Amino acid sequence: MRHPVARKLTVLAVSAAVVSVGAAAPPTGQHSGAEPVKTPVATGYGGAVASVDADATAVGIEVLRKGGNAVDAAVATAAALGVTEPYSAGVGGGGYFVYYDAKSRTVRTIDGRETAPLTADAGLFTEDGAAIPFADAVSSGLAVGTPGTPATWQTALDKWGSRSLGTVLAPAERLAQHGFTVDETFRSQTAANETRFRYFPDTAELFLPGGELPAVGATFKNPDLARTYRELARKGVGAIYHGDLGEDILATVNKPPVDPDSGWHARPGDLTKRDLAAYRAKLQPPTKTSYRGLDVYSIAPSSSGGTTVGEALNILERTDLSKASKAEYLHRFIEASRIAFADRGRWVGDPAVEDVPTKELLSQRYADSRECLISDDAVLTSPLAPGDPRDPAACATGGTAAPTTYEGENTTHLTTADKWGNVVAYTLTIEQTGGSGITVPGRGFLLNNELTDFSFTAADPAVPDPNLPGPGKRPRSSIAPTIVLDRHDRPVVAVGSPGGATIITTVLQTLTGFLDRDLPLVDAIAAPRASQRNAAQTELEPGLYDSALRAELEGLGHSFKVNAEIGAATGVQRLPDGRWLAAAEKERRGGGAAMVVRPTG
């Protein structure tokens, strides 16, 4: 089997300057009145940042230019995304942080997932023995978990950063104070949430200024969030877990401030000071799997991202995807995703509560026992039953399928690298677009609805569900920030994406496009996507749905439905000559923003 990675890296080292040049970062904290220019790919020296937003990427570059490292830049960029992407991320949410340390050539991770109240039980989302409607749960205090993002920032800086929290929050604080230019994505996301935003007066006042949708080209300011960042800079994240900010969060969760004329019943939550004080961002080992002679590291449970991407890669290991036709490649990719999702639903939950067989799920022996289910001329039927990684049986098909829970398709991902060779892949979220829809009064940020990632009820009492709610439990996630190292433990590429459960298939498709299909990183990110999550139909973006490939795959038995947009990835790549290549979306979410400290052209 040929290995295309080494040849690809050599080719890209020569061609990257031809296909792109990196934009210099504009000064932050000053508003020009014009929408920032987004460049989806940049190459150069001194470090790199890629995110969905030009202002946020520029903040990260500013930190690198002033001598900060990749961790400092990641936290600064994340804080800026809390300003410009407030419906996807912020102080009120959580996430997963994957870090490559160049000095030790090791990968470390932080689980910053939100947690359920210590009073929660398996009936958290039931009333009278039945699950409450999903829409009712989303916009409620009941859906809000203890935020993990502030603890993640502080933990990352304490362990691996070189700057204080106050220093890295300063650019985002200025951005919130002076404002950013509203683009079409921000306006359309606001419009999609307008009805429920109006349920909550503080949310409506902030995001519907003057009672209207923000206009494209207008300047959007958030002085309340600027004050929140200043308070965190002065007092540290203890202001949330032990102080006044936390008390404001608790008051909002436990008695959501609803417009009485809206008629909306926002169920109260039950977060307490004990929940905030008990919260910890967890330092834990990454998942690791070998693929094409490379080591692929990601986040371990409570996220299912690392295990599911890793299992799918192991299933694909025995197929030379570089020589497969486009239809053969997509067929194998879809089937590997289907199998990995079948196992995810049965086995992955919060390992602090559930017995999660992480090592076994990532074993090549188990993947081989599942890979033999795939046929070149037929399609597996979903829902597919899980296997048993603790006792692999070749081509086993018996048993009952595990349910696939719904996950909101928003979130945001950023990737950073620095001149010393350190790399960060960080995905953060408040769950679906707009989170719970509830803004903490006077604080300028939305609260998450992350607890809706739990299964509301057990779908089948005969099938164990590791993702039911429980006291202090972390709901299962699909977040999959991933860093790939070569045989000398040096970075090859780092990627990640938002998109709920489609994160897993987005990361998997981006990795195989880059590592197997010879696509430059920016093109692997831009390629039209498919997403199979152990469902009867595979989702296709229009670029595939409207192509001849669809009919070819349908001839094998595949069934499809269209999804207008799947994921919004970013990544960085280390080139052989020591330069960094940063890449982001060309079109999804209005395109992403890639920058480097010293561009080459």
What is the C-alpha separation between 293 and 508, in angstroms, rounded? 17
Q: Cβ distance 79 to 172 under 8 Å?
A: yes
Residue 30 class from Cβ within 10 Å (0-12 exposed, 13-18 middle, 19+ buried)?
exposed
- CA-nearest of 182, 189, 258 to 432 is 189
What is the C-alpha separation between 186 and 294, in angstroms, rounded? 38
Mind spelling out the 3-state secondary structure of 253-314?
HHCCCCCCCCCCCCCCCCCCHHHHHHCCCEEECCEEEEECCEEEEECCCCECHHHHHHHHHH
Two tokens, residue 576: 């052989």
Q: Are strands 282-284 and 219-220 parallel, antiparallel or unpaired?
A: unpaired
- SS3 (DSSP) at 378: coil
Specify the DSSP class assigned to residue 381: P
Cβ neighbors of 135 (< 8 A, separation 6 or more) are: none
DSSP H helix total and E strand total for the chain: 20, 20
Give the sign of the dihedral formed by CA 482, CA 486, CA 487, CA 490: negative
What is the C-alpha separation between 306 and 320, in angstroms, rounded? 22
What is the C-alpha separation between 64 and 75, in angstroms, rounded? 12
Q: Cβ distance 525 to 585 under 8 Å?
A: yes
Alpha helices in 85-164 (DSSP H): 134-138, 149-160
Active-site choice (43, 308, 319, 411): 411
DSSP codes joined into one string, 569-591: -EEEEE-TTS-EEEEE-SSGGG-
Cβ neighbors of 133 (< 8 A, separation 6 or more) are: none
Does the annotation count 411 as an active-site position? yes
- CA-nearest of 321, 379, 307, 415 to 532 is 379
Specify the DSSP class assigned to residue 123: T
Q: Using the structure block, give the residue that is written with the tokens 């990684």.
A: 389
C-alpha distance across the termini of the chain, in Å:
35
DSSP codes joined into one string, 162-213: SS-HHHHHHHHHHHHHH-EE--HHHHHHHHHHHHHHTTSHHHHHHHSGGGSP
Q: Cβ distance 493 to 425 under 8 Å?
A: no
Residue type, 139: S
Give the residue numbers annotated as catalytic, written as ranges: 411
